[in-house]
Amino acid sequence: MQSPTHDASERSDGQQQPGQGHRLPVVQRPVEIGTVVGSEESGGPEEGPKARQVIEAPLLHDAGAGNAISESGEVRIKAQPTTDGRACSFMTNRMLCRGFSWWFDGTSVVEECPLAAMIFALPSVESVLLDGSVLAICLKADVRVRWPSFAAEVGAVIRTYLADGTAVVAEYVIDTIPDEATIRRDIQRVVDEEINPGIAAHSGVITLDSVQGNSVRITMGGGCQGCSAADVTLKSGIHRAFRDAVPRLGAIYDDTDHAAGANPFFS
Amino acid sequence: MPRIETFTVAIDTGQLGTQEPPRFCFNGFDCEFDEPTGGTGAGQRFEGRFAPRSVPHQLYLSGPTEGTWEIAGIEIHYELSDGDRYDIRFGAVTLNGTNAVNLWRQRPQPTFDV
């Protein structure tokens, strides 16, 4: 997972640098972190700082929200709404999906996942994602809720279902998940033939970083990184194209470090 | 966005260590950790801290200029100017002279029991 960055020596945003007014940097030497694209080609005796690719280490989430995953005992759930209030993750101490993830948009889920069907019975839920010990729900676009009370309703539904010990996703559904190679091939085709040509006009580029089970991780680069419309592009364009190409696709994770965007289109 | 007052990092090295002292890049400045303890040899744990007192834009841990550094895990404790403190944990990553790993993460969203 790469996150291209910019040459820090070109910084002109007026932000305070470390050490200004406080302390000097410990080491005074040319900064090695530079732009990934192009800096290797500068060449010559005045070649700039050596470029490094900035990669992302896997972020270790506190599975079960501090509670050890268990198959018995009390069901414990922690809710974590997003900053925009559009979605909320429910971290449980039960393994909901092992080795795969599952995404529901509310159609034909009763037989596939009774738990998801029960959650869709609550008002305003647009989609449900299951991954590991986490269940995440996304609300319809024009809906806002008071999360403390709404999350309590969702938590009660989850707790009631999990207390039975019933499988969360039906076995026959799991058997229909394509293998990783097939998912990688089909998603890469969508990236190459549909998405990247479409966002090339904005100097954007999408990279498929990995496929694990039926979950994919992508990064948004070029003009997409840090762009104010990146979220819309991701949800309205990329998600839809990916799910059309691979109907059994599970989670889609965006690993882009948008705060480090060097070339947002609307900068 | 609040400033990072200080951050403390603990790096667990896996099978392949490095003899070079860990370096990091904060907002384009190449720095070494203050008060380093431990080591970066195979199986060792390194700890260090730094007080940038600045708004973060970049925080990368650089790979060694020579050889490969297999990192089994990284833990970072951030202390912000608004008084908030939080920890971030990363899994395994392999660094060398061509790459660096991003260490900066915004504070996690608060959670509550339901």
pLDDT of residue A154 exceeding 90 = yes
- Per-residue confidence (pLDDT) for residue A260, from 0 to 100: 58
- Per-residue confidence (pLDDT) for residue A144, from 0 to 100: 86
- Per-residue confidence (pLDDT) for residue A90, from 0 to 100: 94
User: Which of the four pLDDT bands, split at 50, 70 and 90, describes residue A129?
Assistant: very high
Better pLDDT: A152 or B58: A152
User: Quick one: average pLDDT of A17-25?
Assistant: 38
CA–CA distance, B30 with B42 (Å, rounded to integer) = 24
pLDDT of residue A33 exceeding 60 = no
pLDDT of residue A112 exceeding 60 = yes
CA–CA distance, B8 with B15 (Å, rounded to integer) = 23
Which tokens is A242 given?
Answer: 């990916």
Which tokens is A134 given?
Answer: 């986490």
- Per-residue confidence (pLDDT) for residue A199, from 0 to 100: 82
User: Quick one: average pLDDT of A112-129?
Assistant: 90
Query: Environment class of residue A164 by beta-carbon count within 10 Å: exposed (0-12), middle (13-18) or buried (19+)?
Result: exposed
CA–CA distance, B24 with B30 (Å, rounded to integer) = 6
pLDDT of residue A43 exceeding 90 = no
pLDDT digits (tens, 9 = 90+) for A59-81: 776 544 555 677 777 889 999 99
Lowest mean pLDDT among A22-36, A89-103, B37-51, B95-109: A22-36
- Per-residue confidence (pLDDT) for residue A61, from 0 to 100: 63
Interface check for A24 against chain B (CB to CB < 8 A): the answer is no
Ramachandran assignment for A214, one of left (phi > 0), alpha (psi -120 to 50 degrees), beta (any other): alpha
Q: Show the beta-strand stretches assigned E in A49-124.
A: 53-55, 77-81, 87-92, 101-104
pLDDT of residue A264 exceeding 60 = no
- Per-residue confidence (pLDDT) for residue A42, from 0 to 100: 37
pLDDT of residue A46 exceeding 50 = no
Q: Are B19 and B47 in contact (CB under 8 A)?
A: no
3-state helix, strand, coil in chain B (%, to 5): 0, 55, 45
Whether this prediction's pTM lies above 0.80 is answered by: no
- Per-residue confidence (pLDDT) for residue A108, from 0 to 100: 61
CA–CA distance, A37 with B19 (Å, rounded to integer) = 29
User: Quick one: average pLDDT of A17-32?
Assistant: 38
By Cβ distance, the residue of A5, A77, A155 closest to B58 is A5
C-alpha angle with apex A179: A178 to A184, nearest 5 degrees? 95
- Return averaged pLDDT per consecutive 10 residues of chain B, 114 residues in all: 93 96 93 96 97 92 96 95 92 94 88 89
- Per-residue confidence (pLDDT) for residue A147, from 0 to 100: 93
A12-30 b/e (C-beta count within 10 Å ≥ 16 → b): eeeeebbbeeeeebbeeee
- Per-residue confidence (pLDDT) for residue A164, from 0 to 100: 77
Contact residues on chain A for B58, CB-CB shorter than 8 A: 5, 8, 33, 260
Contact residues on chain A for B71, CB-CB shorter than 8 A: 57
CB contact under 8 A, B112 and A82: no
pLDDT of residue A12 exceeding 50 = no
CA–CA distance, A23 with A25 (Å, rounded to integer) = 7
pLDDT of residue A24 exceeding 60 = no
Q: Are B64 and B98 in contact (CB under 8 A)?
A: no
pLDDT of residue A8 exceeding 60 = no
Query: Domains (ranges, CATH) in chain A?
Result: 77-174 (3.30.1370.70), 180-260 (3.30.300.130)
pLDDT of residue A160 exceeding 80 = yes
CA–CA distance, A7 with A5 (Å, rounded to integer) = 7
Tell me the shortest Cα–Cα distance from A85 to chain B, in angstroms: 11
CB contact under 8 A, B113 and A52: no
Mean pLDDT score across all residues of chain A: 75
Contact residues on chain B for A150, CB-CB shorter than 8 A: none
Nearest CA in chain A to B98: A52
Q: Choose among B60, B35, B12: nearest CA to A31.
A: B60
Helix (H, G, I), strand (E, B) or coil at A107: coil
- Per-residue confidence (pLDDT) for residue A47, from 0 to 100: 45
Nearest CA in chain A to B63: A52
pLDDT digits (tens, 9 = 90+) for A164-220: 778 888 888 888 899 999 999 999 999 999 999 988 877 788 899 889 999 999 888
Query: Domains (ranges, CATH) in chain B?
Result: 4-102 (2.60.60)
- Per-residue confidence (pLDDT) for residue B67, from 0 to 100: 95
